[in-house]
Amino acid sequence: MSHTEHKKLSPAVAHCYILTISDTRTLATDSSGRTICDLLWADGHSVTGRKVVRDEPDQVRQAVETQLANPDVQVILTTGGTGITSRDTTYEAISALLEKRLDGFGELFRMLSYQEIGSASMLSRAVGGLARGKVILALPGSEPAVRLAMTKLILPELGHLVREASR
């Protein structure tokens, strides 16, 4: 079966949870999480919840594991903490939970990002994969980066990702 046939059989609605990892943002000031939410809704998907946690590995891991156990969630989208500073720990926390990696997600994101911001794109550690039959995609914290990942990579494949992850 071709990828276009797979897409035709994919669900039109994905049930997504948004987790913002930040030491400074709140739900009220989280423009990146709000952008993810708005883009999901505009594309017909469901947002089951949103939360902001500090960039602490245990807090990130606990928040993700809670949603992995939630039967109403198919996709976990995180924003923030994917850089290389000493406080950026999302990559390590998420990678440790992944059972299957989607290396192409990070590679394609950095390629697209390079077209917008040049060589600084190599500092992104955007990562994706599967855990317990659910999709996890970790995005950078900047709103332009979130918009790029959502419009060019995630939304075009979201139903397909959910279908394949659940098989």
The CATH number of the domain covering residues in 14-141:
3.40.980.10
Find the mean pLDDT for residues 44-60. 97
pLDDT band for position 2 (cuts 50, 70, 90): confident
The answer to whether residue 79 scores a pLDDT higher than 90 is: yes
The structure tokens listed for 105 are: 């997600």
Digit-coded pLDDT (tens) for 122-163:
999 999 999 999 999 999 999 999 999 999 999 999 999 999
Beta-carbon neighbour count of residue 99 at 10 Å?
11
* Contact (Cβ atoms closer than 8 angstroms) between residue 81 and residue 141: yes
pLDDT of residue 5: 81
The domain segmentation of the chain, as residue ranges, is 14-141
Find the mean pLDDT for residues 74-102. 97
Q: What is the overall mean pLDDT for the chain?
A: 96
pLDDT of residue 6: 76
DSSP string, 83-151: SSSTT--HHHHHHHH-SEE-HHHHHHHHHHHHHHHGGGGGG---EEEEETTEEEEEE-SSHHHHHHHII
pLDDT of residue 8: 83
* Contact (Cβ atoms closer than 8 angstroms) between residue 33 and residue 49: no
